[in-house]
Amino acid sequence: ADSRRVVSADRQNVFVVWLADNATLLHSALGPTAHVFISHDMRCVVSGDGDNIVKIWPLTSHRDEERYQVNHSEEITCFVITTDSLHVITGSRDMSLKVWQVAGGKLTQVLVGHTDQVTCVAVAITNKKI
């Protein structure tokens, strides 16, 4: 990963990945753009609009069909990409956290125990365990 790449989004729901050094457009896609995060190693972008869906966009392929939609029963309030870019973790008003594989968008774990909506999620930088 490097700090030369920038991700931006616009009101027409297009997000763009740029190479900042020379203003080269590397990737663009149509999708939710209220919240857009890019992984440290540039393997994926995760985006959401504050509803119950986020999309995972693998950047290793430029094929639009390789995006994955993941959801909760209620609004997704937060999400994070693990530093190894293997998982996305979402938190929701449904009081749960869900762990998704970036490759394929498969749900691997549901964490329950909150008695109110989940408002924040963070991952240790070591990635020893999720």
Q: What's the whole-number mean pLDDT along residues 9-13? A: 90
The class (CATH top level) of 5-112 is mainly beta
- Identify the band that residue 1 occupies on the pLDDT scale cut at 50, 70 and 90: very low
Strand, coil or helix: 129? coil
Where do the structural domains in the chain lie, given as residue ranges? 5-112
pLDDT per residue as tens digits for the range 67-111: 778 889 999 999 999 988 899 999 999 999 999 998 888 999 999
Burial class (CB in 10 A: 0-12, 13-18, 19+), 57: buried
2, pLDDT greater than 60: no
Strand, coil or helix: 78? strand
- Distance set, CA 5 to CA 56, 58, 94, 114 (Å): 18, 15, 34, 36
**pTM of the prediction?**
0.82
Q: Which DSSP string corresponds to 5-48?
A: EEEEE-TTSEEEEEETTTTEEEEEEES--SEEEE-TTSSEEEEE
**Most confident of the ranges 21-25, 111-115, 126-130:** 111-115
pLDDT per residue as tens digits for the range 15-74: 888 888 888 998 888 888 888 888 888 878 888 888 999 988 877 665 555 677 888 999
The reported pLDDT for the residue numbered 79 is 93
